């Protein structure tokens, strides 16, 4: 149990799927030394199989009695997808640009596919990092006690001296956000950019986010935006809370979407394309109240009234989105 917990809130209404966060993370941490296939930050389209493929059905996490559930280790080629090279020779010979390998999946394989049928198809993006859970499945699964939570901020890290590469942690994490590095035979994961955090800077994914969707701060800091979104207004919810790991990344669920069209292509007033059941699956029953609060506060603002919640979500000042130095 850590004394304090850092958390991130992501507003899914503002994510444009640009992958700037993914590139910021990859260039900083995972473009070398056996980490090439890893995406500590990825942005996936929902509904969709995600990355690694079908991670939501891959087990791990805890049952209702608190017992660790069995999980699988995703396959490198089938579920993560191997890094590829392009065959530039063919391009210069007048052919189409081809990859050199036989690809089967990748970190953004089903981008923008989504669900529903034209003209009522729908999708939204979910950026994912390690949730730095309060009850981490990865930590519980490790027989070497090589995974630990830092007291001062709750960041979950792997002690590479202790790790023997057994990979139980990968099976135990229901989000599949811990990876095996075949070059050093050890597990590695998102470190919440702790060297940056220790200098008062937010993680690179949050700092670079062009949509200004990411807030970072301590969960007990009552003046902070993270506290207000999670605890005061309760519009930021953990992903798959039923997995039992108590995640510390929270999401403002998608409220905006075009209405459904009827057979004459006329918009149906008050309709939603994304089935509410899908949002319930992702964020639990609390999603109803969160959407209702967001709707009401938007209406207030539209009438010209004050709304602290809307001011926070608009994120006028990028700097205010990060509060790391209020010890």
Element counts in the chain: helices (H) and strands (E): 10, 13
Q: Please pick, from the candidates 245, 250, 287, 324, the single residue that binds ligand SF4 as defined by CB under 6 A.
A: 245
Q: Please pick, from the candidates 17, 48, 59, 238, the single residue that binds ligand SF4 as defined by CB under 6 A.
A: 17
Q: Which stretch in 12-20, 45-53, 88-96, 160-168 sits in contact with ligand SF4 by CB under 6 A?
A: 12-20
CB nearer to ligand SF4: pick between 210 and 266:
210
Q: What are phi and psi of 122, to 5 degrees?
A: -155, 155
CB nearer to ligand SF4: pick between 87 and 134:
134
Binding to ligand SF4 by residue 211, rule CB under 6 A?
yes
32-71 mask for ligand SF4 (x: CB under 6 A)? Answer: -----------x----------------------------
Binding to ligand SF4 by residue 73, rule CB under 6 A?
no
Task: Map the footprint of ligand SF4 across residues 132-151, applying CB under 6 A.
Answer: 132-133, 136-138
Cα separation, 241 vs 238, in Å, equals 6
Q: Please pick, from the candidates 50, 127, 203, 253, the single residue that binds ligand SF4 as defined by CB under 6 A.
A: 127
Cα separation, 79 vs 52, in Å, equals 5
Contacts of 286 (CB under 8 A, 6+ apart): 234, 237
CB nearer to ligand SF4: pick between 47 and 211:
211
Does the bond joining 52 to the residue before it have cis omega, within 30 degrees of 0? yes
**Which residue of the chain is nearest ligand SF4 when measured via CB?**
211
DSSP label of 323:
E
Cβ neighbour number for residue 145 with a 10 Å cutoff? 9
DSSP label of 101:
S
């Amino acid at each position: 149990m850590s004394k304090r917990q850092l958390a991130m809130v992501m507003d899914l209404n503002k994510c444009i799927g640009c992958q700037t966060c993914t590139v910021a993370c990859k260039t900083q941490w995972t473009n070398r030394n056996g980490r090439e296939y890893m995406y500590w930050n990825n942005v996936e389209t929902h509904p969709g199989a995600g990355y690694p493929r079908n991670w939501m059905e891959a087990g791990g996490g805890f049952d209702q009695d608190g017992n660790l559930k069995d999980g699988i280790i995703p396959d490198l080629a089938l579920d993560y997808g191997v890094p590829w090279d392009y065959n530039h020779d063919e391009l210069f010979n007048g052919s189409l640009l081809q990859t050199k390998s036989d690809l089967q999946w990748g970190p953004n394989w089903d981008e923008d596919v989504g669900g529903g049928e034209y003209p009522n198809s729908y999708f939204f993006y979910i950026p994912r990092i390690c949730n730095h859970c309060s009850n981490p499945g990865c930590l519980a699964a490790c027989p070497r006690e090589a995974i630990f939570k830092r007291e001062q901020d709750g960041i979950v890290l792997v002690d590479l001296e202790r790790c023997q590469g057994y990979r139980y942690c990968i099976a135990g994490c229901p989000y599949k956000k811990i990876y095996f590095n075949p070059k050093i035979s050890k597990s590695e994961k998102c470190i919440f950019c702790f060297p940056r955090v220790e200098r008062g800077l937010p993680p690179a994914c949050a700092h670079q986010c062009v949509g200004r969707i990411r807030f970072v701060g301590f969960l007990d800091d009552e003046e902070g935006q993270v506290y207000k979104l999670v605890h005061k207004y309760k519009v930021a919810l953990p992903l798959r809370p039923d997995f039992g790991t108590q995640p510390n990344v929270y999401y403002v669920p998608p409220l905006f979407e075009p209405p459904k069209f009827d057979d004459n292509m006329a918009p149906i007033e008050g309709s939603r394309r994304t089935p509410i059941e899908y949002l319930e699956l992702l964020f639990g029953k609390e999603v109803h109240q969160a959407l209702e609060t967001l709707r009401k506060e938007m209406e207030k603002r539209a009438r010209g009234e004050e709304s602290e919640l809307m001011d926070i979500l608009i994120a006028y000042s990028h700097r205010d989105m990060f509060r790391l130095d209020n010890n």
